[in-house]
């Protein structure tokens, strides 16, 4: 039985072609640069497309150097390794740069933000989320330094395209002499007090993954003002070959460089970044207006910033939540008049051939990380059961947003008619 058989959804028909959460939008220029790479045989990890996008992105973001890599995750790995080397020096081969060290990390984010800490042998300490921008809470971060004063590295993400509380986070980091690795994978083009995200970290990264605001089909970049460090990352990303007549290796290497084909796609996309942002903003505002009469709020945009509106998200008011209990891989929910749940809305969205998604499940309640420390404004502890989170006064902002929130279809190729159907479906969930 489909959820559409419920009389509340009478008359609603699934879309003929799927409406995606956020899918690649090609414009044609990509083909030209890819063709040129093929025609000239520059298809590997050297070529004009790579050089050109490194120049263009550095200029757009306002940073001295951009290093083109195979993914945002690879960029995060090298950024975190670089930070680890700056702080603690080069480790012996077989040991990570962060071996035995704690690192403060965003909690409500994709696991790619934090996994590289583990690649380098470190232990992530998760910092709770604030409600104003859904990013790392500077108050919880300050508390974390009281508990772990020895920590010297912070990994911060800007979620869904909205910059976090950059000034407050930087003030806490500086007060404790800590470095910031900034994960701007989702926020390319967003600004805080007029400056681009990607300029706030001691080292920063962006992603060109297929679902991002622009894409290279894959790819990412490391951003830094330090030319020597940029070159070091280029070297690490190409197996750390020394400048010798033979294959000479003095440190660990990786196969992380971007290909000139991928760079051709990025090169074709870059002129459309601002257009994509404008389209996503229209989508966000249409949802905001269309859902204004429901007991829900949109993902907050924060002050002093202009987001890139990558994903439009919804948060159901606490007292408009029907019952929803999530296990590790399954979920149960009830239907109640005037109330709904993220699960019900996601099921309804899926039934009409559209794609939504739960909010990122916080890292501190992920099986892989639930034994890691977790610091909130009001306490510190480890994993809590969903029932505990729902019923106790323990303030776990990330888990609460995960419980009540969802990402709505935010594809810039979605028509306003399709978006109106989605808005209507969400209304019917609350009937
Ligand atoms: C916050 C965040 N960090 C890192 C990544 C990793 O980027 P990539 O997929 O390019 O490796 C992503 C997205 O994929 C992301 O959303």
Where do the domains of the chain lie? 3-23+273-373+387-429, 29-272
Would you say the CB of residue 315 lies under 6 angstroms from ligand 1? Answer: no
Report pLDDT for 381. Answer: 59
User: How many whole angstroms from 210 Cα to the centroid of ligand 1?
Assistant: 10
User: For position 234, what pLDDT does the model report?
Assistant: 98
| Ligand 1 mean position, distance from CA 392 (Å) | 32
- Does the pLDDT value for residue 430 go beyond 80? yes
Pocket test for ligand 1, best of 164, 209, 214, 256 (most atoms within 8 A of CB): 209
CB-based contact 36:264 (threshold 8 Å): yes
Q: What is the CATH number assigned to the segment(s) 29-272?
A: 3.40.640.10
Token pair, residue 350, equals 């899926």
**3-state SS assignment for residue 248:** coil
d(CA 424, ligand 1 centre) in Å: 31
Query: pLDDT at position 84, please?
Result: 98
Is the CB of 197 inside a 6 Å radius of any atom of ligand 1?
Answer: no
Ligand 1 within 6 A of 163 CB? no
- Ligand 1 near 182 CB (within 6 A): no
Which range is least confidently modeled, 86-95, 125-134, 337-346, 370-379?
370-379
Q: Over 70: is that where the pLDDT of 393 sits?
A: no
Residue-level length of the chain: 431
Ligand 1 near 220 CB (within 6 A)? yes
**Average pLDDT score over residue span 225-252:** 96
| For ligand 1, atom 3: residue with the closest CA | 113
CA of 73 to the centre of ligand 1 (A): 6
Average model confidence (pLDDT) across the chain: 95
Long-range contacts of 367-372 (CB under 8 A, 24+ apart): 367/328, 368/111, 369/114, 369/124, 369/126, 372/123, 372/124, 372/125, 372/126
* 72 Cβ below 6 A of ligand 1: yes
Digit-coded pLDDT (tens) for 62-103: 999 999 999 999 999 999 999 999 999 999 999 999 999 999
d(CA 221, ligand 1 centre) in Å: 11
Mean pLDDT of 230-252: 96
Name the band, by pLDDT with cuts 50, 70 and 90, for residue 384.
low
- The CATH T-level fold of domain 3-23+273-373+387-429 is 3.90.1150
Predicted pLDDT of residue 377: 86
156 lines ligand 1 (CB under 6 A): no
- The average pLDDT across 180-196 equals 98
Task: Tell whether the model's pLDDT for residue 382 goes beyond 60.
Answer: no
Question: Does position 389 have pLDDT exceeding 60, yes or no?
Answer: no
**What's the mean pLDDT in 302-328?**
96
Alpha carbons within 13 angstroms on the beta-carbon side of residue 293 total 8
SS3 content of the chain, % helix, strand, coil (to 5): 40, 20, 45
CB 265 within 8 A of CB 215: yes
């Amino acid at each position: 039985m489909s959820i559409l058989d419920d009389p509340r959804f009478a008359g609603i028909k699934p879309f003929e072609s799927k409406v995606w959460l956020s899918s690649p939008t090609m414009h044609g220029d990509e083909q030209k640069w890819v063709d040129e790479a093929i025609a000239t045989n520059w298809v590997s990890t050297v070529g004009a497309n790579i050089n050109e996008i490194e120049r263009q992105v550095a200029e757009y973001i306002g940073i001295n150097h951009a290093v083109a890599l195979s993914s945002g995750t690879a960029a995060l790995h090298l950024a975190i390794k670089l930070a680890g080397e700056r702080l603690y020096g080069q480790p012996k081969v077989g040991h990570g740069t962060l071996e035995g060290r704690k690192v403060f990390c965003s909690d409500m984010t994709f696991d790619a933000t934090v996994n590289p800490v583990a690649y380098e042998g470190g232990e992530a300490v998760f910092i709770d989320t604030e409600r104003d921008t859904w990013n790392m809470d500077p108050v919880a971060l300050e508390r974390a330094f009281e508990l772990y004063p020895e920590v010297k590295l912070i990994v911060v993400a800007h979620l869904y395209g909205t910059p976090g509380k950059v000034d407050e986070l930087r003030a806490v980091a500086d007060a404790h002499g800590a470095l910031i690795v900034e994960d701007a994978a989702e926020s390319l083009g967003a600004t805080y007090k007029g400056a681009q995200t990607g300029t706030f970290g001691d080292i920063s990264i962006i992603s060109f993954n297929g679902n991002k605001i622009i894409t290279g089909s894959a790819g990412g970049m490391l951003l830094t003002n330090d030319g020597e460090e940029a070159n070091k990352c280029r070297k690490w990303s190409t197996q750390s070959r020394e400048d010798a007549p033979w294959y000479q290796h003095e440190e660990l290497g990786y196969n992380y460089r971007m290909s000139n084909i991928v760079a051709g796609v990025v090169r074709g996309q870059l002129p459309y970044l601002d257009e994509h942002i404008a389209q996503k903003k229209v989508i966000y505002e249409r949802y905001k207006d269309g859902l204004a009469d429901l007991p829900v709020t949109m993902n907050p945009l924060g002050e002093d910033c202009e987001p890139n509106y990558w994903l439009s998200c919804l948060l159901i008011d606490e007292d408009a939540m029907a019952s929803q209990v999530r296990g590790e891989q399954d979920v149960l929910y009830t239907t109640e008049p005037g109330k709904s749940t993220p699960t019900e809305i996601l099921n309804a969205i899926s039934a009409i051939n559209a794609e939504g998604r739960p909010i990122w499940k916080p890292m501190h309640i992920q099986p892989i990380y639930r034994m890691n420390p977790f610091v909130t404004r009001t306490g510190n502890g480890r994993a809590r059961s969903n029932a505990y989170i729902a019923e106790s006064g323990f303030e776990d902002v990330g888990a609460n947003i995960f419980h009540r929130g969802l990402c709505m279809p935010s594809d810039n190729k979605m028509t306003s008619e399709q978006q109106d159907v989605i808005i209507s479906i969400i209304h019917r969930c609350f009937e």
